[in-house]
């Protein structure tokens, strides 16, 4: 049996139009570029099961299934809580949804999207889905039918995001002709395209050893960059776990910029103390990719944490 293909992800800058729904993007941050314009997850489904606050869009992956018409277009959407306190030993702070469409559908052309930027439609409302007319929250880009009671032009998913927008800019702009057209908010993660590439076969041991020797010549040693106390602590924790970490570093060495080990840093949330954090995120989807009455289907996500003190893996509840 052949081993499963490993696909690596890399973050790249891209023009905004490349990350919108008609381009079927894979991306991190910003607002979700919804696939189907109907059956979107409701506000309660997009709440953290811990604090009950709205979750933020983290990333989406375009993952069509070849040879299956109902999933000719298929995207997974991942959301996470913005409250560090919710990142305990469970997966309640994260949710994943699947949307799929046949090639012939009411939202997109049968033909592949053009490679060139489409004509600018200055009259369109970025917070309303063009075909279905579903209104979106100005703050998070999720379904939102609650309108500002003064201007009635901006909609929200609920009171929490209405208050957030009011304090951020809308208090000054409400009912003003100079209202901001900016479609981002401090609630969102920074937006980047998620580019995927198959992992190349590992170099043979000789080439790897030569590369390591060359690296040692050109770069200062790891020991030189650490304080003596840090070195003593590392020596004390030279356990099997650290050997696993060394194997992990060797595995990612050929492509050190892949997203997996550094997404938290790329999102600027990687900090000491209370922080959004996870060890590994594993998503399981329906093996048959069944339709769910044209609704966005909830899939299973497993957040695996690691203890920074004991260097031991924590089993999920």
The predicted structure's pLDDT at residue 251: 64
The predicted structure's pLDDT at residue 152: 86
The predicted structure's pLDDT at residue 33: 97
- One DSSP character per residue, 159-202 reads HHHHHHHIIIIIHHHTT-TT-------TTSPPPEEEEEEEPPPP
Q: Is residue 91 part of a domain?
A: yes
Q: Is residue 24 part of a domain?
A: yes
Query: Do 25 and 94 fall into the same domain?
Result: yes
> What is d(CA 306, CA 314) in angstroms, rounded to the nearest whole number?
6
Query: Do 78 and 39 fall into the same domain?
Result: yes
DSSP β-bridge partners for residue 77: 60, 97
Domain count, the chain: 2
Q: Is residue 194 part of a domain?
A: yes
Query: Do 294 and 168 fall into the same domain?
Result: yes
The answer to whether 28 and 189 are in contact (CB under 8 A) is yes
The predicted structure's pLDDT at residue 250: 67
Q: Is residue 149 part of a domain?
A: yes
The predicted structure's pLDDT at residue 235: 60
Query: Do 159 and 237 fall into the same domain?
Result: no
The predicted structure's pLDDT at residue 285: 96
Q: Is residue 315 part of a domain?
A: no
CA 306, chain centre distance (Å)? 20
Query: Do 74 and 156 fall into the same domain?
Result: yes
Q: Which domain holds residue 229?
A: 205-252
The predicted structure's pLDDT at residue 293: 84
Query: Do 270 and 228 fall into the same domain?
Result: no
The predicted structure's pLDDT at residue 121: 66
> What is d(CA 313, CA 84) in angstroms, rounded to the nearest whole number?
20
The pTM of this model reads 0.78
Q: For 38, which DSSP code?
A: S
Query: Do 147 and 245 fall into the same domain?
Result: no
Q: Is residue 311 part of a domain?
A: no
Query: Do 170 and 37 fall into the same domain?
Result: yes
The answer to whether 157 and 146 are in contact (CB under 8 A) is yes
Q: Residues in the chain with pLDDT < 70?
A: 1-3, 121-123, 177-183, 201-258, 260-261, 270-274, 306-317
Q: Is residue 50 part of a domain?
A: yes
Query: Do 166 and 212 fall into the same domain?
Result: no
Query: Do 99 and 244 fall into the same domain?
Result: no
> What is d(CA 179, CA 173) in angstroms, rounded to the nearest whole number?
5
Burial 260-292 (b: 16+ CB within 10 A, else e): eeebeebbeeeeeeeebebeebeeebeeebeee
> What is d(CA 61, CA 59) in angstroms, rounded to the nearest whole number?
7
Query: Do 233 and 262 fall into the same domain?
Result: no
> What is d(CA 142, CA 136) in angstroms, rounded to the nearest whole number?
5
Q: Is residue 41 part of a domain?
A: yes
Query: Do 144 and 221 fall into the same domain?
Result: no
Nearest Cα residue to 11 out of 266, 189, 209, 188: 266
Last residue of a domain, one of 218, 233, 252: 252
């Amino acid at each position: 049996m052949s081993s499963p293909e490993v696909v690596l992800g890399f973050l790249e800058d891209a023009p905004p139009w490349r990350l919108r729904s008609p381009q079927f993007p894979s991306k991190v941050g910003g607002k979700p570029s919804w696939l189907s314009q109907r059956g979107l997850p409701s506000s309660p489904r997009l709440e953290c099961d811990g604090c009950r606050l709205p979750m933020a869009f983290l990333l989406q992956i375009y993952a069509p299934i070849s040879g299956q018409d109902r999933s000719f277009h298929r995207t997974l959407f991942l959301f996470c809580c913005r409250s560090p306190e919710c990142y305990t030993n469970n997966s309640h702070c994260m949710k994943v949804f699947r949307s799929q469409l046949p090639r012939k559908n009411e939202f997109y052309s049968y033909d592949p999207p053009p490679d060139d930027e489409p004509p600018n439609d200055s009259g369109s409302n970025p917070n309303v889905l063009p075909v279905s007319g579903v209104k979106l929250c100005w703050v998070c880009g999720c379904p939102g039918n609650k309108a500002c009671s003064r201007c009635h032009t901006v909609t929200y998913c609920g009171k929490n995001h209405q208050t957030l927008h009011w304090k951020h800019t809308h208090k000054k702009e409400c009912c003003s002709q100079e209202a901001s057209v900016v479609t981002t908010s401090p609630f969102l993660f920074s937006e980047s395209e998620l580019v995927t590439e198959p992992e190349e076969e590992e170099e043979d041991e000789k080439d790897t050893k030569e590369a390591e020797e060359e690296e040692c010549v050109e770069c200062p040693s790891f020991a030189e960059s650490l304080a003596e106390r840090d070195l003593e602590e590392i020596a004390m924790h030279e356990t099997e776990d650290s050997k696993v970490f060394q194997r992990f570093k060797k595995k990612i060495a050929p492509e050190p910029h892949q997203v997996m080990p550094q997404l938290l840093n790329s999102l600027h949330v990687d900090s000491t103390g209370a922080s959004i954090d996870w060890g590994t995120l594993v998503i399981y989807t329906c093996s048959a990719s069944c339709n769910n009455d044209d609704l966005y289907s909830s899939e299973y996500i497993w957040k695996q944490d690691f203890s920074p003190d004991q260097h031991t893996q924590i089993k999920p509840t």
